[in-house]
Amino acid sequence: MNGVHDMGGMHDMRPIQYEENEPVFHEQWESRAFALMRAMRAWQKWPGDAFRHERELITPAEYLRMSYYEQWIAALVELLVKTSLVTRAEVESGKPTPNSPKAIPPLTADNVAPLIARGKPASREVPVVPRFKVGRRVRARNIHPVGHTRLPRYVRAKLGTIERDHGVFVFPDTNAHSLGEKPQHVYSVRFAARELWGEQAARHDAVYLDLWDDYLEPA
Amino acid sequence: MNTTRSGSLTASGAATTGDIAPARDRRHDHGHQTVPSDLTLRVKALESLLVEKGLVDRVALDALIDTYEHKVGPRNGARVIARAWVDPAYKQRLLTDATAAIAELGYSGMQGEHMVVIENSPKLHNLVVCTLCSCYPWPVLGLPPVWYKSAPYRSRAVIDPRGVLSEFGLELPEDVEVRVWDSTAELRYLVLPERPTDSEELSEEALAALVTRDAMIGVTKVKQPGAGSPT
């Protein structure tokens, strides 16, 4: 979706605010928000792409107003309700519905370390023929999906070169909406800075993006 | 070359430690009010609800937080970089299969399942961003700083990388190629900075102490030894 989250190339977002010796979390609620999201992911009720998309669905003005972990909490609550893990009434009251069954958490302290160490690879060991070879000139497709996509606006319709084939990965545009993994090749694609931004960019500079087969067409 | 962080970054000034509220305010400089005071209450209420429903285990939450506050962070990445500087065979493995090479040092997993290491040289400077959200290599750098996830950095890194670098105190000549890596997929990027020239005598451990988080994101270079303590 053409949301405000897709901000590569936008102007006037204010100067970068750097903080020396920044703590991992600024306030306790941020750390709890982080942990709650990770722990609820262990229910495997939604793919990681769905969490990203849920944050994108925050309205633009709110998205820019909210701090990072505020976005996390907003997105988490929406996903919890959508997947029926909790009801809206429960979130509002802070209390479980009377007489509702009590679950057993899938993530215990003992398996936090293994969970983190294992991660959740998005690559897939399935034979899929790559559509492009390294060195091939390609054009990023001029598409504007209304759902989740990882093809930023600033690169659409631009010419680039396949620099590396990373192998086969889950396709976020379908996976985020539980429409299947649609595994396909992801490539590192080099775009000359001047192809993207014109003469104002430095002559030799470049931007590299990791793009799925479905985002590309032969140039 | 000036590799100190110049005054042009709006930061703030090294906030005194413990002075959390002003830091938070700076971070929310979007012309709106500060974080709603009810966030603490909202998150607490949500946590209580999820615990009461048996959906989360509070001790597991503590363990997750402890991991990223105390165990995983940029010191991991610094060890990877220092090893690459002293061991050419390791460096080769790192550049060809970063995930496996990083796992040799014990770092792997969540948000580092698919690692790529990109090498700086006198004629090439690499810079990492995630314009769409906040993708970042957790096992080697920990959780990202606020500025990395913020609109100013995400919007400008791809269109004006030299302007961004300049704010971090790094001015690059035009004949140095700047490559920006936008983390749009599940690959996670770590910059292998140039080894400081006056570091021949240093042990691997002393080298690791020179390597900063910012240098591994690519917004700064690694300082010469004795040029001041890294952040």
CATH 1.10.472.20 fits A28-118, yes or no: yes
B45-83 per-position pLDDT tens digit: 999 999 999 999 999 999 999 999 999 999 999 999 999
Residue B121 shares a structural domain with residue B190 = yes
What distance in Å separates the CA atoms of residue A199 and residue A195, rounded to the nearest whole number? 9
Per the domain annotation, does B18 fall within a domain? no
**Burial, B81: exposed, middle or buried (Cβ in 10 Å; 0-12, 13-18, 19+)?**
buried
Residue B133 shares a structural domain with residue B58 = no
Q: Tell me if residue A168 falls in helix, strand or coil.
A: strand
Considering CB atoms only, which of B53, B59, B134 is closest to A96? B53
In the prediction, which pLDDT does B226 show? 80
What distance in Å separates the CA atoms of residue B59 and residue B61, rounded to the nearest whole number? 5
Contacts of B154 in chain A (CB under 8 A): 7-8, 13
Residue B141 shares a structural domain with residue B61 = no
Q: Report CB contact under 8 Å: A20, B26.
A: no
C-alpha distance from A134 to closest chain B C-alpha (Å): 16
Least confident of A27-31, A52-56, B25-29: B25-29
**pLDDT above 70 for A32:** yes
C-alpha distance from A189 to closest chain B C-alpha (Å): 10
Per the domain annotation, does B83 fall within a domain? yes
Determine contact, residues A109/B62, Cβ cutoff 8 Å: yes
B123-166 per-position pLDDT tens digit: 999 999 999 999 999 999 999 999 999 999 999 999 999 999 99
Q: Report CB contact under 8 Å: B154, A14.
A: no
- CA separation (Å) from B28 to A67, A132, A177, B134, B151? 7, 43, 31, 17, 11
Per the domain annotation, does B15 fall within a domain? no
Contacts of A162 in chain B (CB under 8 A): none
Domains A28-118 and A137-218 in one fold = no
A81-114 per-position pLDDT tens digit: 999 999 999 999 999 999 999 999 999 999 999 9
Residue B50 shares a structural domain with residue B123 = no
Per the domain annotation, does B96 fall within a domain? yes
In the prediction, which pLDDT does B228 show? 58
**pLDDT above 50 for A195:** yes
Tell me, what amino acid is at B29? Answer: D
Residue B127 shares a structural domain with residue B174 = yes
In the prediction, which pLDDT does B35 show? 53
Hey, where are the domains in chain A? Answer: 28-118, 137-218
B170-180 per-position pLDDT tens digit: 999 999 999 99
Contacts of A67 in chain B (CB under 8 A): 27-28, 35
Residue B76 shares a structural domain with residue B178 = yes
A96 φ/ψ sector (left φ>0, alpha ψ -120 to 50, else beta): beta
Q: What is the DSSP string of chain B?
A: ---S--TTS---S-PPTT-HHHHHHHHTTTTSPSSPTTHHHHHHHHHHHHHHTTS--HHHHHHHHHIIIIISSHHHHHHHHHHHHH-HHHHHHHHH-HHHHHHHTT--STT-SSEEEEE-BTTEEEEEE-SSS----HHHH-SPPHHHHSHHHHHHTTT-HHHHHHHTT----TTSEEEEEE--SS-EEEEEPPPPTT-TT--HHHHHHH--HHHHHTSSPPPPTTS----
Considering CB atoms only, which of B26, B27, B60 is closest to A105? B60
Q: Report CB contact under 8 Å: B182, A123.
A: no
Last residue of a domain, one of B68, B94, B114: B68
* CB-defined contacts A:B, below 8 A: 307
Considering CB atoms only, which of B54, B145, B154 is closest to A104? B54
CA angle A135, A137, A143 (to 5 degrees): 135
Last residue of a domain, one of B41, B68, B95: B68
CA angle B144, B148, B150 (to 5 degrees): 120
In the prediction, which pLDDT does B34 show? 56
**What's the total number of domains in chain B?**
2
A151-186 per-position pLDDT tens digit: 999 999 999 999 999 999 999 999 999 999 999 999
Q: Which residue of B has its CA nearest to A108?
A: B60
> Which residue in B149, B113, B114, B116 sits closest to B133, CA to CA?
B149
CATH of domain A137-218: 2.30.30.50
Considering CB atoms only, which of A32, A64, A152 is closest to B47? A32
What distance in Å separates the CA atoms of residue A143 and residue B226, rounded to the nearest whole number? 52
Residue B172 shares a structural domain with residue B206 = yes
Mutate to test the interface with A, among B8, B24, B25, B61 (most CBs of A within 10 A): B61
B4-42 per-position pLDDT tens digit: 344 445 444 333 333 333 333 444 444 445 555 689 999
Residue B78 shares a structural domain with residue B138 = yes
Residue B195 shares a structural domain with residue B90 = yes
Give the rounded distance of the alpha carbon of B8 from its chain centre: 20
**pLDDT above 60 for B113:** yes
Q: Report CB contact under 8 Å: A116, B185.
A: no
pLDDT band at B206 (very low <50, low <70, confident <90, very high): very high
Do the bridges between strand B124-129 and strand B177-182 make them parallel or antiparallel, or are there none, so unpaired? parallel
> Which residue in B122, B124, B117 sits closest to B103, CA to CA?
B117
Domain of B134, in residue numbers: 72-217
Residue B95 shares a structural domain with residue B199 = yes
Residue B120 shares a structural domain with residue B180 = yes
Contacts of B112 in chain A (CB under 8 A): 119
Q: Report CB contact under 8 Å: A166, B114.
A: yes
Name the residues of B annotated as catalytic. 130, 133-135
C-alpha distance from A24 to closest chain B C-alpha (Å): 6
CATH number at residue B176: 3.90.330.10
In the prediction, which pLDDT does A15 show? 93
Instruction: Count CB-CB contacts under 10 A for residue A81.
Output: 15
Residue B203 shares a structural domain with residue B103 = yes
